[in-house]
Amino acid sequence: MSQLDEQIREHYLQQSLPKENLQAILTGEELPHSTAWLQRLIPLAAVIAALLVALSLLWKPTNLTDAVVAEIAKNHNKQLAMEIKSGDYRELQTELDRIPFSLKLPEKEVRSKFSLVGGRYCSIQTELAAQLRLSNNDTGVPCTLYITRLTDSLRQLKPTTRTVKGVKVKLWSDGRRFFGLAMP
């Protein structure tokens, strides 16, 4: 063994753990400055993060329902003038040519109870939508039907009817389109 080998050997043999730290390792105690405990918390932190993400996903539809209902009620109360006045949905479809989905009134129930008055562009949750003015066949009271593409987020919403600021809002979908009907 050369002198340099001996020097290296001596250097490393001088390195030793203090008695109390050595004892702590042997008895399974944590060292005061050890980061091992922090590393063991990583899986726990990951589980908590996953739970928070899951909760946020679960809560999202409820919040989205509130948001959509509020938006529809607010727009209905504005009673904005119709850009196109027509009782024929085909004519509205032609005029509102940026709308990529059918404007045919949904369900026999809607078609039998209401008459189409006109329509205009609008949006629901930033998604391009058609706002159709309807008139109740029995009472003549104006109602508003919103139609938009059934996006992934809107697909999460369950059919519901809620009343906000005196406006009764009914939400539903037909698999391709999303509807919101606002009635006083």
176 lies in the binding site for other proteins (CB under 8 A): no
CB atoms within 10 A of CB 82: 15
Query: Which spans in the chain are helix H?
Result: 3-13, 19-26, 36-78, 89-95, 108-113, 152-155
From the CB of 14, what's the least distance to other proteins, in Å?
9
Q: Count CB neighbours of 3 within 10 A.
A: 7
DSSP reduced 3-state for 29 = coil
Instruction: Tell me which DSSP letter residue 31 carries.
Output: P
Q: Is 22 in the site for other proteins (CB under 8 A)?
A: yes
**Residue 38 is encoded by which pair of tokens?**
């922090």
Nearest Cα residue to 136 out of 160, 174, 109: 109
Q: How far is the CB of 18 from other proteins (least distance, A)?
A: 9
CB nearer other proteins, residue 1 or residue 81 = 1
Choose the binding region for other proteins from 2-10, 70-78, 111-119, 171-179 (rule: CB under 8 A).
Answer: 2-10
Q: Are 141 and 183 in contact (CB under 8 A)?
A: yes
Q: Which listed range, 15-23, 50-58, 70-78, 174-182, lies at the site for other proteins (CB under 8 A)? A: 15-23
Hey, what are 87's tokens?
A: 């009782």
| Minimal distance, residue 32 CB to other proteins, in Å | 10
41 binds other proteins (CB under 8 A): no
What is the rounded distance in angstroms from the CA atom of residue 106 to the CA atom of residue 72? 17
By CB under 8 A, tell whether 46 contacts other proteins: no
| Helix ranges restricted to H, 79-145 | 89-95, 108-113
Q: Is 6 in the site for other proteins (CB under 8 A)?
A: yes
Contact status: 28 vs other proteins (CB under 8 A): yes
31 lies in the binding site for other proteins (CB under 8 A): yes
CB of 43 to other proteins, least distance (A): 14
Q: Is 26 in the site for other proteins (CB under 8 A)?
A: yes
> Of the ranges 1-9, 46-54, 76-84, 107-115, which one interacts with other proteins (CB under 8 A)?
1-9
Report if residue 15 touches other proteins, rule: CB under 8 A.
Answer: yes
